[in-house]
Each structure stands twice: as structure tokens, then as C-alpha cells.
Amino acid sequence: MPAAHLISAARGALATVLPAARGALADAWALVAPVDCAGCGAPDRALCPACTHAVQPSPRHALLALHDGAPPVPVVAGLAYTGVARAALLALKGDGRTELARPLAGALRTAVERAWPPGGAELLVPVPGSRTGTAARGFGPAVLLARRAGLATTAGLRAVDAGPQQKGRGLAARLAAEHPRFVARPRVRGARVVLIDDVITSGATLRAAARALRAGGAEVVACAALAATPRRVGPSSIPWRSIAGNDERPGDNVAREGYREGKEA
């Protein structure tokens, strides 16, 4: 049996382990198992030097109104959700390659630093993964990335079962969806919150999380994410601007495999 198949079989075996233990096991597994670069497939590196370079922070910002009539808040993403960044995050989330959180974490940390409001904030709250996604993976991507970035987060939200209808729905339908996706925990009451997520696509998830926090007595003052879908790819209408001062160019960083909605949860 080729080595790659053995590794694949072993990864499959990992998937049968209890979810709570899986994240820790996957970390340990990554230390002993040969892996291929998640960006280009080069052998024996979780992420090769060239691909590591490709996920160095390249922050972009936008202003996003989180509620009807609310003043927009700053939103910063550390990377474009394309190319190596997208491949690595999909491998982390879809294949449980948690060792990729470390090379990606710097971009999240930069995004949080750039988004941090001058007036400060009390809590850094990660958007929780969907209940089914978190149960299947054994970890929430935003929580894991934040931990690797050395950021102390507060579990201020919990995901509620929204049913299967979110996936594949159009932007308008998602925005119109009334079923709450999150509920705030009592500990957030009265706090100014910076909300963090792994990927921003349409902004619908941030809005849903902000709605829940507001209902729980907290105020979202800024948002940060590891990556964001470029404005010309997919349904995102968020007018991202590079913090270096250059707007995204048409076709900039567009993923070869094209846009697929529904990977943000």
C-alpha cells in the first residue's frame, strides 16, 4: 500500500475518535506523520516556505453596518480567501489539519491588531463553528486560529441548530433568514466586543453574530477575520480596500478552483 494511502487510512481512523479528543490527537498526529504542503503538495512540509510566504499578512479593511441603521464598524481581514490561504484553511477545516493553524495565525493576529478600536474593547469573541461542523471536527476554526495567534478569546456565543437551509442559499435569502444562528451567553452583557471569524464572505455570519450579541446586551465595535472573499468573487458586496492603499485589482488572487459558497460555517 503506498504511503499516501496509509496516511489517508490513518486519518480516516482518526475521524472515528471521540470529537472532544480529536483536535489534540490531530495535533499530535501532525508531529509524527509525513504530510504534504497544503498549498502546493510539496512533500514533508505542512506548508512549504513559498506557501508560508503566500500567507503572510496582507490586510484589507472595510466598513460594515451590522444592523439596520447602525453606524458601520471597521472590519479587517488578514488575507484574501484565495490560492494558498484558501487551500490551507480548507485543509484545516475539512481534513482536520490543525497544524496549519500556526502558519495561518499571524494573519488573524494582524487583522485583530488593525481592527482593534481606539476606544478599546473588553472581549474578543470568536464566531462559533456550526454545531454540526464543530462536532464533526472537534474544534471551532476561529477559536483554534485565535489560540495559535496567542489571542485570549471569550466564548460569548453559541451556535444554534439552523437546519441545512443555510448552505447553498443565495445572499438575499441568507440575509432574510430569520432563524437565529447564534445566541449570546450572559457573560457578554455590557461589553464592547471585537468579533472574530475565520472567513468573511457576504458578511451575513458577522451580522447574525452581531445581532445575537446585541440581543444579549453587548455591542460589536469591530470585526476581524483570517481571510475574506475578494469582492469580485462570489456574492460578497463588501467593499474591501487594501490597507496598503491599493484597491483589489480585477482578477487579483482569484482562486483557480472558483468560488464555492457555504464554506464559511
Which residue, 66 or 100, has its beta carbon nearer to Zn ion? 100
The least distance separating Zn ion from the CB of residue 101, rounded to whole angstroms, comes to: 17
Instruction: State the Cα–Cα distance between residues 128 and 121, nearest whole angstrom.
Output: 19
Residue at 28: amino acid letter:
A
**Residues in 74-103 that interact with Zn ion by CB under 5 A:** none
Q: What minimum distance in Å lies between the beta carbon of 65 and Zn ion? A: 38
Which of these ranges, 4-12, 48-56, 71-79, 113-121, lies near Zn ion under the rule CB under 5 A? 48-56
C-alpha cell at 66: 451590522
Task: Name the residue with cell 444562528.
Answer: 181
Q: Which of 17, 25, 40, 70 binds Zn ion (CB under 5 A)?
A: 40
**Looking at 35, 46, 51, 225, which residue binds Zn ion (CB under 5 A)?**
51
Stretch 133-162 residues interacting with Zn ion (CB under 5 A):
none
Q: Given the C-alpha cell 475574506, which residue does it identify?
A: 228
Pure H helices in the chain = 3-14, 19-32, 49-54, 83-94, 101-115, 131-137, 141-148, 171-176, 204-215
Assign 17 to helix, strand or coil: coil
By the rule CB under 5 A, 39 interacts with Zn ion: yes
| CB of 199 closer than 8 Å to CB of 225 | yes
Name the one range near Zn ion by CB under 5 A: 43-51, 125-133, 182-190, 226-234.
43-51
48 binds Zn ion (CB under 5 A): yes
Query: Is 123 in contact with 218 (CB distance < 8 Å)?
Result: yes
What is the binding site for Zn ion (CB under 5 A)? 37, 39-40, 42, 48, 51
